[in-house]
Amino acid sequence: MKRNIYKIISLFTVCVFCNLGCSKTEEVCESVSFTPINWQYMTNYKIVDDKLEDKYLVINSQQELDAQVIPDPLYSYIGFKDIDFTTSTLLVGKKALGHGAGQLLSQRVNHICKSDKDIYKVVIKNGGYTALTKFNFGVVVPKKDAALVVFDVSVVE
């Protein structure tokens, strides 16, 4: 009788650990390679418009780029001209900030195996002086379906 109880407890323990292990395996993310967009000479670019609001875009064609990103006339698509939209996607956004001169602290793109989604995580440091502004960011990744991309953008002090 005691042996049966030990077998049941052992079997239950194995099942619990297996289920925990399986769910963790499904949640494991894979890092997606990307090329960051250098915004140094692109400060006057407008993503959709000039409003101080958050906007996140997945751009899969030159036509989408032309419709959604308004270049600074002085630099005419510098940084975007080499994107091959047959094999690549542009993930781009703007974040409204309450303090000027924000700084990009980190960015990464992860693939979530279970949901088959890609998460573009961006961390921005708020600037040092009080002024409403917007912060542009973006990366070029291998071709993605727009419906399967999620933006996770946060601002820290």
What is the distance between the alpha carbons of residues 23 and 91, in angstroms, rounded to a whole number?
A: 29
Which has more confidence, 3 or 60? 60
Q: Which tens digits make up the pLDDT trace of 30-64?
A: 889 999 887 765 656 777 777 888 999 999 998 99
* The token pair that represents 108 in the structure block: 């990464």
Residues 6+ apart with CB under 8 A from 1: none
Per-residue pLDDT at 20:
39
The pTM of this model reads: 0.76
On the question of pLDDT at 106 being above 80, the answer is yes
Which region among 24-28, 45-49, 57-61, 151-155 has the lowest average model confidence (pLDDT)?
A: 24-28
Please give the pLDDT value at position 78.
58
